[in-house]
Structures are given as C-alpha cells and as structure tokens.
Structure 1
Amino acid sequence: MNDLMKTLLAQEEELQFDSFTNEDALQLGNIVVQHAKDVIGKGIAIHIENDEHPLYTHYMAGTSKDNIYWVNTKKNVVNHFGHSSLYVGEMFRDQGTTFPESSGLPLSEYQGEGGSFPIIVRGQGKVGTITVSGLTGEEDHQAAVDGIRKFLAK
C-alpha cells in the first residue's frame, strides 16, 4: 500500500459523521457549492445520496451533461468497493495495472477516478456518497473532502 492510499484511508477514518440526515445532505451540498464559488472559482457538479435515493444534486454553471456520466460512474465505484473512487483507482495503479484494465467492470457504469467519497456514520458504516465532477479527479476528490471537513467543523 503506497502513501497516497494510506492518506486516503486516513481521510475515510477521519471524515465520519455521528449521523447523516436529509437536512445534512442539503447543508453539505450547499457548503461544497459555496466552496467551489469562493475557493475553486469554477463550476462543478455535486451529487449526494444515501444508499436508497438522491438527496442533493446541483450542476453549477460551466458543467454539462457529461458530468452526469462521471457522477454516476464514480458513485458506482464507491458503492461497489466501499472506498473513495480515488482510492480504488490508486489501488489498481499500486498493483501495476489500471482500473479499466483489471476491474472487470463495464466502463459505461464504473470509473476509478477521483471525486466520489463515502458518507460514513460512526458505528454504522457507509450510508451514502458525495460525488463531485468537473475538475481533475484529484481536485474533485479534494472538493468533496474539503466540503465534508467544513461541514464537520461547524
């Protein structure tokens, strides 16, 4: 396991919620939108769902229908593997291969690119996902992480 993978697992351990409600999803999504406006300076797509249905979706100016594909394929990776989509992509790279070459999953539905992060409730496990699209995979991942950090700090 390389250093990036260790860092990503540490983020999943650190960024856990005591509970996660529909209202929390609304607040978290709005925090990420504001972060994109204030810090990133570029429009992104933000999608939050629990393990049953969508709770928050916003496509800022500058996004396109292509972001729908990326949101869904990255979110599906988190739901399949239980870890951030950046971690999963890095896991394959650490093994000397790539997600497309070795995952055995259809790329029409799964992409091991950064941007989707598990919503984890302490004592309960993964209860949903937050997914960002519109930047590089690493930047999408960081936007999700920064949003969760800001939410948990309040």
Structure 2
Amino acid sequence: MTHTPATPDPSSEYDPDSSEPQPHGSLAALIGGVLAEMDALQFASFSKDDALDLGLLLVELGRQRSLPIAVDITKGEQVLFHAALDGATPDNERWINAKKRTAQRYEVPSLLVGLRARAAGGRIEDNAWFDQMEFAAHGGAFPIYVRGTGAVAVVTVSGLPQKADHDLVVEALRTVLTPGA
C-alpha cells in the first residue's frame, strides 16, 4: 500500500478577498503561516545584487506563468528594481506604492496588517486614521529582513489577487534564500 502525504485542503484556507464565511481557524492559521515566513525568510545581508537577483527571479516566474504583474524592490527612498510585465496596468503602480508604504510603516508583510485587523473583528480600512490613498493592507509587499538587523527594504508584487501576490513573493524569497533549491 502506498502512503500519500496529506495535502492541505485548499478550501480550508482563509481567503482575504472573500466575503463568504471562512473555515473555522483558517484566519489564525494564515496569520501563523505569515509569522513563520517572516522568521524563516531572512537574509544574512542584502545588497543591490541581491535585489537584482530577486527582482529578476520574480520577472522570470511571472513570464513563465504569463502573470500580469508589476514588481518593485525599494530600500528607503531608493528603487533597487522595478519592472512591469505584459498585462500590468498603471493601477498596479498605485497598489505597489500603497502596499509598500504599509510594509515599510509596520515592518511586516502588508497581508499581515490586513489579517490582524480581521482577527480583531474588522477591517483596518474602516478606521478613519487609515488613509487608503497612501496605504493598502492587501498582500503583496514583504519586508526584506536581515537577521539581527530587521527590515531593510521591501519587495512588492501587484497584479494578482492579494494572497497570490503574497505567495509569489514568498516563493521567490524562499528560492533565493535556499541555494541549490
């Protein structure tokens, strides 16, 4: 008899874009997953060459999959990498900037900011102090963490549903941080 490893049921995952009832515990599980990603996906150091490698990998993944994405890697005010693939629109630039500002401000992935608000019983966008013209608590922006230092830059993808944007960034980070993978 062959044993097949259990795979998570995709229908049990929390969907931040859905207005439908979500599976019990799925929000907490997703928050825990993002926190684990933050801990695991840390660089020993981060250079402009690292930014170029990460950006080019995201472009390669996007082109292989025909994804209509824009990609940005920014350190402070300096853009280290920026590209828009076929299908990306000017709206993606607005989303990149808003998600990037959120990740910079809170020093956590933009997806986590939105998820934490939902866990508290609402949406961060419903607070008058959250300026939706400047910030977006939607997935796709992930701080570049250097172990022992903290957040030093932000990588952002826009063009897909927010969880898919986040997952693409995480996939690319895992790839560059796992040599030979």
Query: 1:51: how far off?
Result: 2.2
**Structure 1: distance between partners of 2:103 and 2:128:** 13
Q: Percent same amino acid among aligned pairs?
A: 35
Q: Which structure dedicates a bigger proportion of its chain to helix?
A: 1
Runs (5+) with no aligned partner, structure 1: none
Quote the residue 1:25 is aligned against: 51
Q: Secondary structure at the match of 2:71?
A: strand
Q: Which residue of 2 aligns with 1:118?
A: 143
Equivalences for residues 1-154 of structure 1 within 5 A: 2-38=28-64, 40-102=65-127, 104-154=129-179
8 Å contact kept, 2:95–2:136: yes
For residues 15-58 of structure 1, what are the alpha-carbon distances to aligned partners after superposition, in whole Å with 9 as ceiling and x for unaligned?
A: 000100011101100001111122x3212100001124110000
Note if contact 1:92-1:102 (Cα within 8 Å) is conserved in structure 2.
no
Once the 2 structures are TM-superposed, how far is the Cα of residue 103 of structure 1 from its aligned partner? 6.8
Structure 2 Cα separation of the partners of residues 105 and 128 of structure 1: 22
Counterpart-to-counterpart distance in 1, 2:151 and 2:39? 11
Provide the C-alpha distance between the structure 2 equivalents of 1:140 and 1:59, rounded to a whole number of angstroms: 14
Q: Is 123-132 or 100-109 further displaced after alignment?
A: 100-109
Report the number of matched residues. 153
**SS of the counterpart of 1:2?**
helix
Map of 2:11 onto structure 1: none
Q: TM-score, normalised by structure 1?
A: 0.95
Conserved? CA contact 1:120–1:126, under 8 Å: yes
- What CA distance in whole angstroms lies between the structure 1 residues aligned with 2:120 and 2:128? 12
Give the 4+ runs in structure 1 shifted more than 2 A: none
Q: 1:41 is paired with a residue of what secondary structure?
A: coil
Question: CA–CA distance in 2 between the matches of 1:91 and 1:102?
Answer: 13
Any idea what the Cα deviations from partners look like across 1:104-145, whole Å, max 9, x if unmatched? Answer: 221001010000001000111100100000000000001110
- C-alpha change, 1:127 and 1:103, in structure 2 (3 Å) is farther
* CA distance in structure 2 between the partners assigned to 1:12 and 1:102 by the alignment: 26
State the distance in 2 between where 1:139 and 1:118 align. Answer: 17
The answer to whether the 8 A contact 2:159-2:165 is kept is yes
Which amino acid is 1:56 matched to? F
The structure with more radius of gyration: 2
Q: How far apart are the structure 1 equivalents of 2:127 and 2:115?
A: 12
Query: What SS does the corresponding residue of 2:98 show, helix, strand or coil?
Result: helix
When normalised by structure 2's length, the TM-score is: 0.81
